Amino acid sequence: MTQKSFHDQHVTQLSPKTEPTPNTQRESLAAEVRKLSFWYGETQALKEITLSIAYRKVTALIGPSGCGKSTLLRSFNRMHDLYAGNRYSGEICLFPENHNLIDLDPFMVRLRIGMVFQKPNPFPKSIFENVAAGLRIQGVQNKKLLSDRVEQALRDAALWEEVKDRLSQSAYGLSGGQQQRLCIARALAPQPEILLLDEPTSALDPIATAKVEDLITEIRHRFTVIIVTHNMQQAARISDFTAYMHLGKLIEFAPTGELFTTPQETLTRDYITGRFG
């Protein structure tokens, strides 16, 4: 219900001219990858990936090391544009406007799509300023609004109780797991349309990992999340859809339960039963 009104509103406001996609899709999809290929210089890392990203659901990307999960994820916020020699072909369409984000200005794309990296990378600033960073660039100046949204983001990242008395202290005083949740709060604060997580728990211990998984479960109804993970149990626990990749190709994509219980492809089956490599 809320989904529908959200989308209708945006469709009328933002894209009266673009070609309409079927209603069913528009209601359920946040983005769609269409025949996306990607090259690092001469080496092709993605081969005609086609994949739908469900609106306000968690989509997991799994697959053996080097199969292109990070490459695909980083295409969503055009991170590859920072480095010379990289090239895309194909589309990643953002709904509801149905704009191909490969054709948009990368800086504008990044304002709409948040990202959390494998290694916690807070700025050398206070905890508050870290979370406020993305809000400031979006033009939020009002102090009350700023602190409300910082608090909300820290609550979403399940970090508020631990840091509420030390917001003005350096982010580097936090533990690794706290720093990673701070980075999640920083990405959540501007309310991104899609949140990208690249192995967000691989540098964390099991308890910190559980906290991050819990918070993803908490926010999944309000954010569209794409997560890369090496941990299949993690994918099974927190995702709604799972995509299995192999050597730059998308091998199988299905609701998580189905993919893990009844994989259709031999490669997928081998990987999830641990027979791979």
Partner 1 sequence: MRASESFLRRRALWGSFAGGCLLIAAASSVFVTLGIVYVLVTESMGFFAQIALLDFLTDTQWTPVFENAHFGVMTLVSATVTVAGIALAVSIPAGLALAIYLSEYARREVRETVKPCLELLEGVPTVVYGYFTLLFFTPLLQTFIPGLEGFNMLGPGMVMGIMILPYTASVSEDAMRAVPSGLREAGYALGYSRFRVAMRVVVPAAFSGITAAFILGMSRAVGETMVVAIAAGQNPNFSFNPTEGAATITAYIVQMAMGDLPHDSIAYQSVFAAGIVLFVITLTFNLIGFFLRRRFKEVY
Ligand X SMILES: Nc1ncnc2c1ncn2[C@@H]1O[C@H](COP(=O)(O)OP(=O)(O)OP(=O)(O)O)[C@@H](O)[C@H]1O
**In this chain, which stretch among 9-17, 61-69, 96-104, 177-185 interacts with ligand X, using CB under 6 A?**
61-69
Return the number of other C-beta atoms located less than 10 Å from residue 251's C-beta: 18
- Three-class secondary structure assignment of 55-72: CCCEEEEECCCCCCHHHH
Phi/psi at 121 (nearest 5 deg)?
Answer: -135, 60
Structure tokens at 26: 């528009």
Q: Which amino acid is at 228?
A: V
Which one of partner 1, Mg ion, ligand X, none is in contact with 67 (Cβ closer than 5 to 8 A by kind)?
ligand X
The contact pattern for ligand X, residues 129-168, with x = CB under 6 A and - = no contact, is ----------------------------------------
123 contacts partner 1 (rule: CB under 8 A)? yes
From the list 92, 120, 114, 73, the residue with the least C-alpha distance to 32 is 92
Q: Which of 90, 96, 122, 248 binds partner 1 (CB under 8 A)?
A: 122
115 contacts partner 1 (rule: CB under 8 A)? yes
Q: Which of 52, 59, 70, 180 binds ligand X (CB under 6 A)?
A: 70
Residues 145-174 that bind partner 1 (CB under 8 A): 172
Bridge partner list, 113:
194
Kind of pairing between the strands at 224-228 and 194-198: parallel
**Least separation in angstroms between CB 65 and partner 1:** 19
Structure tokens at 2: 């809320």
174 contacts ligand X (rule: CB under 6 A)? no
Kindly state the DSSP code that residue 132 receives in the 8-state scheme.
Answer: H
Q: Which amino acid is at 49?
A: I
Kindly state the DSSP code that residue 161 receives in the 8-state scheme.
Answer: H
Q: Which of 2, 24, 65, 168 binds ligand X (CB under 6 A)?
A: 65
66 contacts ligand X (rule: CB under 6 A)? yes
70 contacts Mg ion (rule: CB under 5 A)? yes
Which one of ligand X, partner 1, Mg ion, none is in contact with 137 (Cβ closer than 5 to 8 A by kind)?
partner 1
**In this chain, which stretch among 132-140, 213-221, 229-237, 242-250 interacts with partner 1, using CB under 8 A?**
132-140
From the list 143, 180, 140, the residue with the least C-alpha distance to 159 is 180
Q: Which amino acid is at 159?
A: L
**Least separation in angstroms between CB 249 and ligand X:** 11
Q: How far apart are CA 1 and CA 24, in angstroms?
A: 13
Residues 183-202 that bind ligand X (CB under 6 A): none
Q: What is the dihedral angle through the alpha carbons of 10, 11, 17, 19, rounded to the nearest 10 degrees? A: 130
Q: Which is nearer to partner 1, 223 or 260 (CB)?
A: 223
Q: Which of 186, 200, 215, 272 binds partner 1 (CB under 8 A)?
A: 186
178 contacts Mg ion (rule: CB under 5 A)? no
Give residue 48's region: left, alpha or beta (phi > 0; psi -120 to 50): left
**Least separation in angstroms between CB 235 and ligand X:** 13
Q: Which is nearer to ligand X, 19 or 42 (CB)?
A: 42
From the list 220, 222, 224, 257, the residue with the least C-alpha distance to 242 is 257
Residues forming contacts to partner 1 in the complex (CB under 8 A) are 77, 79, 82, 84, 107-108, 110-111, 114-115, 117, 119, 121-125, 133-134, 137-138, 172, 183, 186-187, 190
